[in-house]
Amino acid sequence: MCLVQKYNVPGPRYTSYPTVPYWNNDTFSLIKWKKSIKKNFEESNDSEGISLYIHLPFCEYMCTFCGCNKRITKRHDLELPYIRAVLKEWQLYCDLFEGRPNIKELHLGGGTPTFFSPKNLEFLINGILRKGNIAKDHEFSFEGHPNNTTEEHLKALYDLGFRRVSFGVQDYNPTVQKAINRVQSFENVKYVTDTARAIGYTSVGHDLIFGLPFQNLDHIEETIEKTMLLKPDRIAFYSYAHVPWIKGNGQRGFSESDLPKAPLKRAMYQKGKEVFEKNGYVEIGMDHFAASSDALCEASKKGKLHRNFMGYSSSKTQLMVGLGVSSISDSWYGFAQNVKGIEEYQSLLENNIIPVYRGHILNDEDLIIRKHILNLMCNFSTSWNTTTEKFSELPDVLIQLKEMEADDLLIIESDTIQITEKGKPFVRNICMAFDLLLKRKKPETQLFSMTV
Ligand SMILES: C[S@@+](CC[C@H](N)C(=O)[O-])C[C@H]1O[C@@H](n2cnc3c(N)ncnc32)[C@H](O)[C@@H]1O
Ligand code: SF4
């Protein structure tokens, strides 16, 4: 059996460990969460600062591939009440902090942040920054939709300290664009990319996806060729995550048989990797390529890459507060997720309640495994030479890793594993060998997208 077939199984993307379906919600409470936030704020605010993620959930049109939490609407009168709720949530967190937060990272995701008017985004960001200090070497970034990002958006956010933007491109082929209900021209992408650069943004990223309905190798080549004309500083090259059981109608705009099969999907990834590397990009962790001048590449070289719910980042903060519907916060010792419904979110905040509805407090074993999985996802290696890195089920994990070593996916040394070039596309499978919770209780239904 070929490796793609052998290792193409449902598996997490490890933006957290434990992964969300394995959180122990029964032992989680808002009181414990607040305690965990306070503890971590004291530990991390002065040294590294904190990160903020703000989820802005509105989009005007539904892309049928989309796995994000969003509300499709053309009602822009929803912007201000939503922003007021986010600012209230931020106030409730600031009330827990002993002192003013030093904001090191701030990311606007969605949904579509550029659905909001520049004026309303200014109101939001000013309201956030008013309660904190901007940390030295801060990194403020946002996700923009090429069809509705204007020069005014780019200027307004630049003036507030944003220097990094990523644009959703996906694929340039008209057949694929029609199938995913996302018709957008190269000219729009070029316009927003050039405008961002002219204003002074130092990192402009493009998101591409392989494995979309009707996509073939020619489409991938065409998309990458166009992408190379614009030379983004970062490229997210995502494997299409087909999870229709979670997202309902959004992903049912095409049928299973329209999707490329695993071997073709892997060939698409290989094609992308080959062309990106030929053009000087470096593969960073999973799904990402960065120009050698980009901060992500620098961080990767220095072993300073970090991964959280926002994806990869060049700076590590232990505390990440997620504001807005469905956002996940991470206090290192615990995770908490906000409610997903906009009305419920706003109503809880009107009543001064932090709107989390589930979470997990990490135990000692979780913390050890979390570290190994982060190491693998960020550095393609991990080691267990100190007692704080060892765990009782390590011998069983090693048996599984030996089989992967026989497939040339990794090299095992006395107390270290190093993922090989051939093993990099299988990093999710390698992490799964360490995922004790997944091994102890296999899911009864499919919870995760396929690893290829
Ligand atoms: C919130 S969107 C980016 C901003 C804006 N909404 C847009 O679409 O341009 C985040 C990115 O997630 C990726 N994405 C969304 N659903 C996905 C899926 N099912 N599989 C893989 N990537 C996905 C897309 O590349 C998308 O650009
Ligand atoms: S891909 Fe972006 S614009 Fe499309 S539905 Fe998802 S969040 Fe909205």
* Distance separating alpha carbons of residues 156 and 364, to the nearest angstrom: 44
Q: What is the mean pLDDT of the chain?
A: 93
Ligand 1, CB cutoff 6 Å, lining residues: 59, 65-68, 109-110, 112, 143, 145, 168, 170, 207, 209, 238, 240-241
- Lowest average pLDDT, out of 4-18, 231-245, 247-261, goes to 247-261
**Pocket test residue of 209, 237, 259, 448 for ligand 1, highest count of atoms within 8 A of CB:** 209
Helical segments of 45-112, H only: 79-96
pLDDT at 247: 55
pLDDT at 214: 95
Tell me, using a 6 A CB cutoff, whether residue 316 lines ligand 2: no
* Ligand nearest, relative to CA of residue 167: 1
Same fold across 25-361 and 364-440:
no
Mean pLDDT of all residues in 163-168: 98
Question: Tokens standing for 82?
Answer: 């939503």
Tell me, using a 6 A CB cutoff, whether residue 71 lines ligand 2: no
> What's the first-to-final CA gap in the chain, in angstroms?
15
**Residues in the chain, overall count:** 452
* Distance separating alpha carbons of residues 362 and 452, to the nearest angstrom: 29
* 67 CA from centroid of ligand 2 (Å): 8
Q: Where are the domains of the chain?
A: 25-361, 364-440
**Pocket test residue of 55, 64, 71, 112 for ligand 2, highest count of atoms within 8 A of CB:** 112
Q: Please give the CATH topology (third level) of the domain spanning 364-440.
A: Arc Repressor Mutant, subunit A (1.10.10)
Mean pLDDT of all residues in 218-246: 93
Mean pLDDT of all residues in 65-71: 93
pLDDT tops 60 at residue 248:
no
**Pocket test residue of 55, 58, 68, 72 for ligand 1, highest count of atoms within 8 A of CB:** 68
- Mind listing the pLDDT tens digit for each residue in 322-332? 999 999 999 99
Q: Within 10 A of 441 (CB to CB), how many other CB atoms are there?
A: 10
Domain made up of 25-361: CATH architecture: Alpha-Beta Horseshoe (3.80)
* Ligand nearest, relative to CA of residue 72: 2
Could you identify the atom of ligand 2 that is nearest to the CA of residue 145? 3
Of the pLDDT bands very low, low, confident and very high (cuts 50, 70, 90), residue 140 is: very high
Q: Name which of 180, 177, 179, 178 is nearest 189 in CA terms.
A: 177
* Distance separating alpha carbons of residues 185 and 195, to the nearest angstrom: 16
* 440 CA from centroid of ligand 1 (Å): 32
Give the predicted TM-score (pTM) of the model: 0.95
